[in-house]
Amino acid sequence: MSRFAFHLFTPLLLLLLLGGVAEASRLPDFTQLVKDNQAAVVNISTVQKLRAGRRSPHGLHGLPELPPPYDEWLKRFFGEEGEGMPEGEAQSLGSGFIISPDGYILTNNHVIEDADEIIVRLNDRRELKAELVGTDERSDIALLKIEADEDLPTVKIGSSGRLEVGEWVAAIGSPFGFDSSVTVGVVSAKGRMLPNENYVSFIQTDVAINPGNSGGPLFNLDGEVVGVNSQIFSRTGGYMGLSFAIPIDLAMNVVRQLKEKGRVSRGWLGIYFQEVTRDLAESFGMDKPRGALVAKVVPDSPAEKAGLRVGDVIVSYDGKPVDDPGVLPPLVGQTPVGKKVQVEVIRDGEERTFRVTIQELPDADERGGTPHREGGSSFDKRLKLGVGPLDDETRESLGVEDEEGVVVNRIQPGPAFDAGIRKGDVIVMIDGKRVEDVKGFRRIVGELEEGATVPVLVHRSSGPLFLALKVPD
């Protein structure tokens, strides 16, 4: 290398090195956050007395098989899974965090569920028995209380509402029993709805969360708790880059109610709904997919009393837009019981506003069986779809009301199959018209306009569902 080339290369190398140092200096430093909050994060273990034939709590279902000694650690912390276990004790492990100096601790409901004894281990290795103040299964939140001789270290509660996608966050917890483990990442998404989780819109992150992290805090860069680590999505049982936290705003609302009255009450609208797809939007005369499509209105519910109908598309609730149907359950659930709210819907292509008085969410919807109607089967060659009368058992199991519905008993490749209709579905509405029986089905289908896209409401084991049916030319 010539002297000229050397003198030219050296400054370039220095610039690259300095650039890398400058880039690294812009990465967040979590050391002070950990020092300030580590003492307020606790390890929670539970003991549950097992009887013969009873499964152990929080077992190893879905977790990967690990080599020794890790397999024994897992068995120690989470218990062995299986039926027919002998009498004894099972242990589970999770995390939690102290939210007040007098010893209130926030964690997940599934961490302490069915526990006969709850032990909290502090950062200084003290172990204290905890009292269960209250739990809320729907939000997966539990509130504990411990007694100590002095004020305890606490976390600072932030606001999940101000959290931004892409923001750095950190988790502290006890994955696999390793106390005070710190993992970091970014917020991947907000308002994420998960299957069978109707009242929590989760914070999604790429923070490494594993069994034992459940119930631990999720911090922002200001050292404020913005979420409660709760779930992961995994095909192996271990971390795969998708973790979910309960927003702290929701969790603290639950805490307040548990402290005040020992239970949690939620607002109730009384509908079943689904997403509006592009084809469904076209069938309802909408310019684009948005809102929550009402698939069923519960009898004597706030929605029915206010005049909402099946086929309405809710686009606004209490002044807040409902572009994604997943935002609706948390909005309704956090509405005070007795409050009157405005609900804007699209009906027959026009926007309408209803005033709904929100009631308290009941423990379960009451469903009763009804007599079935006699009648023969019918097969429509144009739609390649066959239906028959509905029996008592199917009507009761699917919650279909009396005087409506036919069951799909035959289907061939064609328009109905392409729309997603399947054998066993119960059709209760076509193009906004109630299907009362087989005769009514034939009449409504015979009136369908060629080339039109019409909404079809079916009931199946997973719930009511609208499908977009394209009538052939």
Instruction: Show which residues are catalytic.
Output: 110, 140, 214
The residue whose two tokens read 């504990």 is: 144
458 by Cβ neighbours in 10 Å (0-12 / 13-18 / 19+) ranks as buried
Strands (E), 51-145: 88-98, 104-108, 117-121, 127-129, 131-136, 141-145
Buried b (16+ CB within 10 A) or exposed e, 125-134: eeebebeeeb
Tokens, residue 44: 């929670």
Indicate the SS3 state at residue 43: strand
DSSP labels, 381-425? TTTTEEEEPPPHHHHHHHTPPTT--EEEEEE-TTHHHHHT--TT-
Nearest to 413 by CA among 383, 449, 448, 455: 383
How far apart (Å, rounded) are the C-alpha atoms in residues 317 and 359? 15
Q: Which residue type does 46 have? A: T
CA 403 to chain centre: 34
Beta bridge partners of 167: none
Read off the tokens for 347.
């009906």
In angstroms, how far is CA 4 from the centroid of its own chain?
64
Tell me the C-alpha distance between 331 and 201, whole Å: 10
Report which residue type is found at 83. Answer: E
Cα–Cα distances (Å) from 140 to 249, 251, 255, 374, 400, in that order, read 14, 9, 12, 45, 30
Name the 3-class secondary structure at 67. coil
Whether 41 and 95 have beta carbons less than 8 Å apart is answered as: yes
**Tokens 């004790």 belong to residue:** 89
Element (H, E) at 320: strand 320-321
Give the start-end residues of each E strand in 149-212: 156-157, 168-173, 181-194, 197-205
